[in-house]
Amino acid sequence: MRHLSCVETGRARPSREMVLRLAEHLDVPLRDRNGLLLAAGYAPAYRETPLGSARMTMVRAALKTMLAGHEP
């Protein structure tokens, strides 16, 4: 716990693993975990694909089907 106290006070820099572990235990959303990693000086760990990209064609189709099924 002493190391965590040093991280909190700025006397030590958290490791990438520490940032990810804390974010996981705090249930931080993946997008926000990337922001925490960037703030700590590390590269993002989770890829984000825009919904409009070609790779998301099947996802958009599935969403359209699900939404159509809920229409009155």
Question: Structure pTM?
Answer: 0.67
* Burial of 18 (C-beta count, 10 Å sphere; 0-12/13-18/19+): middle
Any idea where the domains of the chain sit in the sequence?
Answer: 2-69
User: What are 1-58's pLDDT values in tens digits?
Assistant: 577 788 888 888 899 999 999 999 999 999 899 999 999 999 999 998 999 999 999 9
